[in-house]
Every structure is written in C-alpha cells, then in structure tokens.
C-alpha cells in the first residue's frame, strides 16, 4: 500500500512539474500575445504581406518580447529583397518574457529601403521573413498588427525555428517592431527600388 502511495505521489509530482514547465501557446486567450497586448488588440497580417519590409527613415526599432525555445536565437535582417549578408542585431538566450530587452535599430544605410527580417537559431538554418529564401521553402514567421493600446501601429513578429515548421508553435522568438511598413504586394517592389523606378518610368513613357 505504501509503495502504491509513493508511486502515486511521484506521478503527481511529475505531472505538476510538467504543468509548471509547460510552454505557453502564442495565440488565443491566455497565450503569449494575449499576455503582452490583449488578444483582441491584434490583427494577423496575411502571409503574403509580411515577406518584405520597408525601412522608410532610419527609425526601425526592434525589441524582444518573449522566447520559448531550446535554441539560442540570433535576430537580425537581410538587406534588400534578395541575397545579402545576414546582419545580426542581438542574441537572445533563456526562456520567458523579456520586457523589450534586448533591443536595437536597423540602419537604412545597411538595410536599404527594402529588407527582410531574419532569425538564426543555434543548431538550425537561418530563416528569412521571405519564405522563398528558406531552405525548406516554408514561411517561418507570423506577423500581427497591434491595433489598440500603447503599442498601436507596431507589428509583432513570431518565429518557428525548426525545419519544415517543426511543432508549428511560432513562440521560439517574439519581437515587437516599430517604424516599418510592409511592401503591400510584389508589384510595388518595382517602384520602391531605384532600378524598378527607372523601369516603371520607361513603361509609362512607352504608353
């Protein structure tokens, strides 16, 4: 009888430890984004509209809000719309809520007008906000617009750090971004780059 009670107690303890160490989900009531901003104060950006970003005036700033991942995360960006060398901004270790630190800014002189966010997890490939850059061709970043509250107008980007989207929890790194705008559609890329502007002007003249 005593042995049965001890086993039952051990099982209860393991269950309690498992509950205590459970990772929070990203979305929905009680999730990470609900805790940070209030779930009703967010609107998810369609995947096709968060691939490329515009650095309009050297005012892009990023702040870490949360991380639940085994890997250390190195957050940064890729200049331009294709290619480019990864530019790290900061390294995030440990798990939990980070309250906006570490933080960094993205200089337009390095990023260019158009750039891509990127996350480089230790032990996994570098992931870009543009799915076609990634080795598995998958979209590893979800984006939410903050619509209400003190951070209204900013974006929250959330990453999945495992190949082929792993467990699809997208809470491996959560970062708040302000000072950016989205490239609304691929056709707009032509008028947002110098070469594209020349092409667009030539087409208009031909018409």
For residue 188, which of 75, 84, 49, 4 has the smallest C-alpha distance? 49
Q: Which long-range contacts (CB under 8 A, 24 or more apart) does 73-76 make?
A: 73/119, 73/120, 73/121, 73/122, 73/159, 73/161, 73/172, 73/173, 74/119, 74/120, 74/121, 74/122, 75/117, 75/118, 75/119, 75/120, 75/173, 75/175, 76/118, 76/119, 76/120
Q: Six-digit token pair at 22?
A: 């459970």
Look up the domain containing 157 and give its range: 32-202
Is 9 a domain residue?
no
Q: Is residue 83 part of a domain?
A: yes
Whether 47 is covered by a domain: the verdict is yes
Question: 10-residue block means of pLDDT along the chain (207 residues)?
Answer: 34 32 91 98 96 91 98 98 97 97 96 97 96 98 97 98 97 97 67 43 36
Indicate whether 6 belongs to any domain.
no
112: how many CB neighbours lie within 10 A of its CB? 17
Threshold 0.85, pTM exceeds: no
């Amino acid at each position: 009888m005593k042995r049965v009670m001890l086993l039952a107690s051990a099982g209860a303890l393991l269950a309690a430890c498992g509950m205590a160490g459970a990772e929070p989900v990203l979305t929905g009531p009680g999730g990470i984004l609900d805790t940070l901003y209030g779930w009703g104060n967010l609107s998810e950006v369609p995947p096709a509209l968060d691939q490329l970003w515009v650095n309009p005036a050297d005012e892009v700033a990023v702040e870490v809000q949360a991380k639940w991942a085994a890997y250390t995360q190195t957050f940064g960006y890729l200049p331009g719309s294709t290619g480019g060398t990864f530019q790290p901004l900061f390294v995030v270790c440990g798990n939990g809520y980070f309250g906006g630190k570490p933080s960094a800014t993205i200089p337009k002189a390095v990023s260019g007008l158009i750039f891509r966010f990127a996350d480089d997890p230790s032990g996994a490939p570098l992931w870009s906000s543009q799915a076609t850059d990634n080795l598995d061709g998958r979209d590893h970043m979800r984006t939410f617009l903050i619509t209400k509250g003190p951070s209204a107008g900013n974006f929250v980007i959330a990453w999945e750090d495992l190949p082929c989207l792993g467990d699809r929890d997208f809470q491996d790194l959560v970062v708040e971004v302000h000072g950016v705008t989205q490239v609304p559609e691929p056709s707009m890329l032509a008028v947002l780059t110098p070469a594209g502007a020349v092409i667009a002007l030539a087409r208009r003249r031909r018409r």
